[in-house]
Amino acid sequence: MRLDYLTIFPDFFAPLELSLPGKAAASGLLEFGVHDLRQWTHDRHRTVDDTPYGGGAGMVMKPEPWGEALAQVVAPGSTVVFTTPSGERFDQRLAEELATREHVVFACGRYEGIDQRVIDHAREVAEVREISLGDYVLNGGEVAALAVTEAVVRLLPGFMGNAASLVEESHAEGGLLEYPVYTKPRTWDGREVPAVLLSGDHGAIARWRREQAVRRTAERRPDLLHPSTLDDGSPIVRATLGDAGELLTLQRACWVQEAIDNDMLAIPALHESLDDVRGWLGEWDTYVVRRAGRLVAAVRGRLEPADPTTWDIGRIMVAPDLQGAGLGRTLLEHIQAVAPEQATSYQLFTGAASARNQRLYKNAGFRLRSDLPAPAGTVVLSKRRR
């Protein structure tokens, strides 16, 4: 993986040498370059900012230096990350996504921000992600770029001494907050280590740790316990038999596009009756989303009868007029999060020519499985549960 940083404060990235990325670079698994934006200015004062059109306080970063910098640093397939308070919220899922990229360029703004035409231009030459570290205001994008770097680099294969530790972490897939940890001495400040941790009973220790993690999460981050709302607050709830009619209608509407994309009508979802839907509502854990009373999206999951360690996911449906807003991605996250403990992998299938669906699943970490049997005209994708 290669990481490049564009900034007017290159020294901000000196820590990279010291930290994990530094070690990773030494091992050749990671390259990075830090570039002073002023090298792409041509006036005596090396000017990178000017007054805002429309007036207002502060200064705005000029487009020209950025245009030249991006032209030099961005390559085909690069992902450009603008760290900005108006970006999508950075989280572990986004860290995992960025960790799949070969080349990430961090564009770190200062002042009141970067001329918007720079971002618009960048979208024409590369994948662009505008990312915010969180809902508070920093003075520039460098700190956020460093934080994103650490969260991403530590996920790269071979970086963390024991990849196993990545599995149990907070915010990892379906993640609870950390359980309390202790080390020697047994007594400190008149305080004892919980006896269960000294018992050697690994089952009891695992149960205690899970209980502590659930209790902490419920107290501090209840939103992490089965994220059951969409970004707009619409709840994701278990379906009932009463939803069967609307589910049938939504299903027919959504699979018309599948039939068109795959040039085939022999798709079970298109041929099911109301009773068929009522039937599978009894076999699958099905979740629906309503907006203003209208059933607008749904998804179902069940343990694969032939292999109860596999969680089958299916019938991800979003009303055609609401597609492209991330509902599908949120439902895919939800149905993974609610999978029972014994599920160690997820499996789903979609049309062989359903490029948009396949992109959604691949971005969520699923991989095509040409080695697994697939219904006619479809492809199977699977994903190991972290």
- Which chain residues interact with ligand JD8 by CB under 6 A? 83-85, 109-113, 132-134, 136-141, 144
Cis peptide before 185 (omega within 30 of 0): yes
Q: Are 70 and 105 in contact (CB under 8 A)?
A: yes
| Nearest to ligand JD8 of 8, 381 (CB atom) | 8
- Whole-number Å distance between alpha carbons of 9 and 107: 12
| Nearest to ligand JD8 of 132, 347 (CB atom) | 132
Nearest approach, Cβ of residue 52 and ligand JD8 (Å) = 11
Nearest approach, Cβ of residue 125 and ligand JD8 (Å) = 21
Nearest approach, Cβ of residue 11 and ligand JD8 (Å) = 17
- Whole-number Å distance between alpha carbons of 137 and 85: 7
* DSSP H or E segment with residue 64: helix 63-73
* DSSP H or E segment with residue 60: strand 60-61
| Nearest to ligand JD8 of 30, 131 (CB atom) | 131
| Nearest to ligand JD8 of 61, 319 (CB atom) | 61
Nearest approach, Cβ of residue 220 and ligand JD8 (Å) = 21
Name all contacts of 272-279 with Cβ < 8 Å and 24+ positions apart: 272/248, 273/248, 274/244, 274/245, 274/248, 277/244, 277/247, 277/248, 277/251, 278/241, 278/244
Nearest approach, Cβ of residue 84 and ligand JD8 (Å) = 5
Q: Which residues are within 8 A (CB) of 308 and not within 5 positions of it... i.e. 6 or more apart?
A: 342
Which CA distances in Å does 206 have to 44, 174, 193, 212? Answer: 64, 17, 16, 10
In one letter, which amino acid is 370? S
Q: Are 84 and 132 in contact (CB under 8 A)?
A: yes
| Nearest to ligand JD8 of 141, 351 (CB atom) | 141
Q: Are 350 and 316 in contact (CB under 8 A)?
A: no
Nearest approach, Cβ of residue 107 and ligand JD8 (Å) = 9
Binding site for S-adenosyl-L-methionine: which residues?
A: 109, 133-138
| Nearest to ligand JD8 of 137, 376 (CB atom) | 137
- List phi, psi (to 5°) of 205: -65, -45
Beta bridge partners of 235: 229
- List phi, psi (to 5°) of 155: -90, -15
Nearest approach, Cβ of residue 55 and ligand JD8 (Å) = 15
| Nearest to ligand JD8 of 49, 64 (CB atom) | 49
- Whole-number Å distance between alpha carbons of 377 and 125: 34
**Paired tokens of 112:** 């009141």
| Nearest to ligand JD8 of 143, 353 (CB atom) | 143
Binding site: which residues?
A: 109, 133-138
| Nearest to ligand JD8 of 108, 313 (CB atom) | 108
Nearest approach, Cβ of residue 69 and ligand JD8 (Å) = 15
In one letter, which amino acid is 261? D
Q: Measuring CA to CA, which residue among 274, 352, 343, 356 is closest to residue 316?
A: 356
Nearest approach, Cβ of residue 106 and ligand JD8 (Å) = 10
